[in-house]
Structure 1
């Protein structure tokens, strides 16, 4: 019982002093009652010499203690409570939160409150019910942070809009103060348009939407772009709801591509195709349009399912064909520039959106093939004659050649058959050469009419485009505009002379100028070329003659009609061998005849012979026997008769 009363005494004194301090704070003039510290009576025996002392049972004591404890609130760590300022010291603020003891909050957490005073109610969070000193520690900052995070979480869940102030720039974005908490604003979430300069946003107060939170580290990501997109979407729905074909709207060029431009119509984008930008031909939209340029466009089509809007710019103006001058008709001369070139011709633009076709056949009076892509260049200006015009179909055909008279109308008088002229090689083909004799007059030399003597496989071996060449007019087809020319005809046919110069069996020096598996082409005197088959190229050593070798060749065939000569080197060698063999046989016959005649003379004198003569006779017989072993030449008739 003594201990119980002692405890109550301590509590009483503590509460009384607290009340007195509050009264003194509110009424400074009230006399301060100084109470002796309870610690000075800790060893005093209150039960000594006392009368009428009431004793309490253990059960009563427990009950009184329980009732007393119920008069205080129960707190837990990190719990947020409302407290009242009891006193303010140099370092701490003392708050009563209804707990058994008052709590302490660092004074530094109240810097934002200029006139903090006793009695003010402050929301705090329990940091620790009893620290090492036995004190209850509280935190206003922790309570504020907790409440701020609750607001951010609530804003995230309800998609509510929050206000924040951009405090600084960081890597990849900005730091935004929302409810006194730092949040992250990524650079991609600042605006719908790309942002390069983040500094202009520092210090600005803006509206944001919380788009991401992390409960563990208490971190949040905010977006200003989401609000803009939300506004844009609302505007888009309003615009789409009012869209109609033919409606004219003002827009801003948002982006330009190779195929067109995207136009911002105030929350919704439309596509302006390159073909709908101008009535005239353009190769790229940036020739006419610029980024951020404001233009009026007309709605051409709208796909409600795909949410696509097709726009037109040229449709705001009348079609150029509808306002084309009436004085442009067949036979009119017009000027324009080349805007497109195809294999079949070129398109000449008279006005933007009004074009005429110059067909490749209307370029020149000449029948020589013309490559339109080499003849015309984009942007070049030409004057042309209107050949046909169809305003309903919006088509026009033009001609360059008809600006001048047809040169073929006087072809027979200007270039009669058999006359000689000098022309310019314009082109070559595998079959011959195209030669321009005058503007619009082009003739053709067949490859067979280039040379009397040379074998020409392709005209490029004989001449090149741009070279001058002399020709003879061979034939004129006025209706078909064809002119046959010859070059070899400027000289007489040398084959009449060649027939006597290269008779069969004649031998000539020749040089191999070309060779293949079939044989070799041999250059003979006078520039004539002959052919030697491979089997006729064998030399004495058994090897075949090689390119650039100069050898003797024998004419083995001469065809004047086909203008063909065949020659052989092998025949030359064979003839030499036969000749040598013949010469040896003739010499052997002569030696044999001489020996027989000498033997006859000796036989006549045999009767007068001596032993020495007999030895000579024996030698002659041996010589005669040896001569019989050599080949015999054909005997002349006289010799045969004499021997007979």
Structure 2
């Protein structure tokens, strides 16, 4: 049967020669090639005669059949739906496989057809598949190059954003010999924009609400594409409230409705407003937020001087840092509040003209200074921890959030304390007496020395002038020597009271730690000073010795007289 078919084919070929004489060699060659000559890169029609797991056998009418990898028949979803009898255009790659079948390709045939259909200036649809040097690679059936400058009307900073997107492109350069195709999307957008621009200019009017697309963001506003013409939406016209940056409420590509505030047809300048679409919320603020009324809002911003609270969209109030706590010294609002917190506050003042609302956080709770005087009347003894130490005193915790100050002068009646840290440290538990409460200036004064009586009250009676005392040298200066008579009480022996002999160097007279006797000259309770004299002791001792001697002499004389008088009496009796 096969031989009969081949013979019949041969006869048909010979009949097609229409009487032309051919040599036997030519007839044999024509027979071996299946009746026609197949050249490399020829595209011919082929019929599938066999489907294998990894390949497809195709009959193209040649002396031998061809083979194509089955993967070339996969559709966009990767599925392969091919069967015997299907007809496809295929490309002859030249040569034969190891099995003697000619090498064919469906993919190359498809690309060849696409290349044949392309021409410069044509509009094609394609999908951006990857980023390459200088631009993007686009699949339009064959790979084409899209320069970065031709992606959009404005330069696109992040080209990765458009990978995977499908658009229409215009072929601006085509070289089939080299296989180069250059595309432009920008050209099509410009044409479309110019068309839209004309229509927009015809219909655009002031006070009109129109839809636009956010095209670009700057620090001062946003440019909105109204359809071929851009309008500026200034940052101050975005919201009735405060906007730090346009990106806080808008993003490139957003579709928004805006109101045309101004339109200059000659210069083609358009000023837009977003907040003007909604009514001004400040029109009824006075009625909604009366002074001394409590309000609730969200913390939207923190600064060094306070926190801004959004009461409603477009209406914000300020809680100044000084209005955050009755008792604590708040250095920064973030010590008390965080952005996003819901807080309750009290309206302190309202300035609708300047769109300002002053709020108070501490006013939500009673002022502890209003009742502190009743809780701790003057003279009350309190106990608390040392919270802080300064050059001028120590702060002691009295009540929650309220510290009392013990001034350095109220630490001790007698001790000379140069710095409070010499005697106290943070965390020490101390007792103190309430001395004074200044409600207006929020000051609470305490005293430690007042827990005991002032020893200087009895000093004049205990150290009367002329009293001989003994003390330890605590300091030697050029003008005299200080003696500690008892804990915290010192007296000064002036250089002139050291000795009858003139002494210019007290340091040669005594040293720190020596014990000396002195006589009290004078007591000054106001300045808390005791004047002492060593010279006076010597004088008193000499006087005492004289008095003692004179007393002895007088006693001796008295005794002699008594003896003489007695003798005379006895003689008289005789």
Return the TM-score normalized by structure 2: 0.49
Greater percentage in strand: 2
Whose radius of gyration is greater, 1 or 2?
A: 1
Return the TM-score normalized by structure 1: 0.44
Greater percentage in helix: 1
